[in-house]
Amino acid sequence: ADLGVRNISYEGEECEFEIDKSSLAIIRDPNKCIRCRRCETMCNEVQTVGVYSAVGRGFETVVKTAFDLPQHDTSCTFCGQCVAVCPTGALMELDQVDKVWKALNDPTRFVVVQTAPAVRVALGEGFGLEPGTIVTGKMVSALRRLGFDRVFDTDFAADVTIMEEASELVHRLKNGGRLPILTSCCPAWVKFFEHQFPDLLDIPSTCKSPHEMLGVLTKSYYAETYGIDPKKITVVSIMPCIAKKYEAARPELGQSQVMPDVDIVITTRELSRMIREAGIHFEHLKDEEFDDLLGESTGASVIFGTTGGVLEAALRTAYEWITGETLEKVEFEALRGMDGIKEAIIPIAGRDYRVAVTHGLGHARYILEKIQTGEAHYDVIEIMACPGGCIGGGGQPYHHGNVEL
C-alpha cells in the first residue's frame, strides 16, 4: 500500500458515470452496476429508507440515489446492507486499510485497536473456517502481529453501556421521564431516527455506542493512568458495521475536531484483508488474550452482537437495581430468536414492564409509527438496523443476500 500500487492500477480507465465518494462510509460506483436492483430491494423494501431508485431507460438504466444526489446528502443510514448484497462491488465500504497501515508504520503513534463482539464469530469465515467459529484468541494474536500497541475489547465498553442504559431507565422510571427508552448503540438506527422521527428525538438513551465509549476511555482514563499523551494515540475500531465509519466522524463524538474518540473504523472484511496482506497464516496462530484493563468484560457484553442482546443485558442489571435481589435466571428467552419484532411483558417488583426488540429498519418503522399514533406502549425498546443485529452487519463477510428475515 505504501508503494501506491492500488492508486495506479486503474489509471486511465474511462468512466461513464462519476464515482460517488461523498459519504464517509460507502463508495458508489454506478459504472459497475449490472441493474440487478438488489440494493434497491434491500434499501426500499427491507430497510424502508428509500435511497436508491433505477434511473434511466432500458440498457441505460443504473441504480442511483433519488435525484442522483451525492450519497452524503440523502437520508442514507450507511447501514451497508446494500453493500452486503451488491454482487459486483458497485457499492463498497470506504476503504480505510491504508490509513491503518500508515498509523502502524508511524513510530510516533501509539496505536490501540478494539474489536466488537460480532467480529470474533465472523472473522474466521475469511480464512475458510465454518461460519460461527469463535476465533477470539487467534484474532487477538493476529492484531498483535500486525503491530498494534494495545489490543482492547469493545465488550468492556458494552458493559459500561449496560450500566449507563440501565441507570437511565431506572432514573426515568423513578422520576417520570418519557418512555419508552430506546437503545442508542446502533449509528444507522440513530441516523434513521433523526431523519424519519424528529418528533421523538427525546426518547432514545443518551449513551454513546460502545466503541465510542472505549475510544474516549482510552484517550482519557487509560492515557492518564499510563502517562501517554492522548494526542499521540490512534484508536482503530474493528467493527461488523459500515455505519460506524460515519459515526466516528460525527463532530460531537470527540474531545475536539482534532481528537475524535475513534480515529479509524475498519470492517471485519477489511481486517481479513489486512491479515492476508501481512502474510499471516491465521489458522495456525496460537490463542492470545486481550490486554489489561480495557480488555476485561462479562458474559452480558458478548450477547450485544445479536438481536435482543443489549436489552437482555440491560434488563439483568435493571432488575437487580430495582429489586435489590440477585437474578437467579439471567436468560430472558422471549427476547431471543430471529423474529423481526419480539415483544414481552417482564414482571419486576410488582410492575409489568412492556419491552420490545426489533431488527431491520422496516420493523423499527412499524413499531415507531404505532408509538406515534398511540396504538402501542412500551417501557424499553432495543432497535438494531441490520437483520439479525450486528452479527448481520454490512461489514461482515459477504453472505450474498442469503439472510433469513
Which positions are annotated as active-site residues?
Answer: 165, 168, 185, 205, 244, 247, 252, 390
Under rule CB under 6 A, residue 294 binds ligand SF4: no
Cα separation of 63 and 70, whole Å?
13
φ/ψ of 114, rounded to 5, equals -135, 150
Minimum separation from the CB atom of position 154 to ligand SF4 (A): 11
Under rule CB under 6 A, residue 42 binds ligand SF4: no
Task: Select 264 or 384, whichever has its Cβ closest to ligand SF4.
Answer: 384
End-to-end CA distance of the chain: 39
DSSP structural state of residue 290 = P
Under rule CB under 6 A, residue 384 binds ligand SF4: yes
Please give the grid coordinates belonging to residue 333: 428467552
Minimum separation from the CB atom of position 81 to ligand SF4 (A): 8
Under rule CB under 6 A, residue 241 binds ligand SF4: yes
Letters for 148-187 (x = contact with ligand SF4 by CB under 6 A, - = none) are --------------------------------------x-
From the list 24, 79, 364, 380, which residue makes contact with ligand SF4 (rule: CB under 6 A)? 79
Cβ neighbours around 302 below 10 Å, total: 20
DSSP readout, 327-391?
Answer: -S----GGG-SS-SEEEEEEEETTEEEEEEEEESHHHHHHHHHHHHTTS---SEEEEESSTTSGG
From the list 33, 166, 169, 390, which residue makes contact with ligand SF4 (rule: CB under 6 A)? 390
**SS3 at position 80:** coil
From the list 119, 294, 311, 386, which residue makes contact with ligand SF4 (rule: CB under 6 A)? 386
Task: Select 215 or 393, whichever has its Cβ closest to ligand SF4.
Answer: 393
Under rule CB under 6 A, residue 123 binds ligand SF4: no
Task: State the greatest distance between any 2 C-alpha atoms of the chain, in Å, as a whole number.
Answer: 71
Cα separation of 356 and 255, whole Å?
34
From the list 243, 265, 274, 303, which residue makes contact with ligand SF4 (rule: CB under 6 A)? 243
Task: Select 295 or 393, whichever has its Cβ closest to ligand SF4.
Answer: 393
Minimum separation from the CB atom of position 245 to ligand SF4 (A): 10
Please give the grid coordinates belonging to residue 309: 442482546
Under rule CB under 6 A, residue 389 binds ligand SF4: yes
Minimum separation from the CB atom of position 26 to ligand SF4 (A): 12
Minimum separation from the CB atom of position 305 to ligand SF4 (A): 8
Letters for 211-240 (x = contact with ligand SF4 by CB under 6 A, - = none) are -----------------------------x
- Applying CB under 6 A, the site for ligand SF4 has a residue count of 14
DSSP readout, 205-237?
Answer: --PPPHHHHHHHHIIIIIHHHTT--GGGEEEEE
Cα separation of 311 and 308, whole Å?
6
Cα separation of 226 and 231, whole Å?
14
From the list 180, 188, 294, 356, which residue makes contact with ligand SF4 (rule: CB under 6 A)? 188
Backbone dihedral region for residue 121 (phi beyond 0: left; psi -120 to 50: alpha; all else: beta): alpha
Task: Select 189 or 353, whichever has its Cβ closest to ligand SF4.
Answer: 189
Cα separation of 332 and 173, whole Å?
20
**What are the residues binding ligand SF4 (CB under 6 A)?**
79, 186, 188-189, 240-241, 243-244, 384-386, 389-390, 393
